[in-house]
Amino acid sequence: MILLTANRSMKGKDSLEQVIREENTLASLPVITIGNADRLLNDSEYRGQ
Cβ atoms 19, 47 nearer than 8 A: no
The pTM of this model reads: 0.51
Q: What number of residues does the chain have?
A: 49
Structurally, the chain folds into a number of domains equal to 1
Short-list 49, 44, 23, 39, CA closest to 3? 23
- Give the pLDDT confidence score for residue 13 in this predicted structure: 74
Domain that holds residue 23: 3-48
pLDDT digits (tens, 9 = 90+) for 13-46: 778 888 888 899 999 988 888 888 889 889 999 8
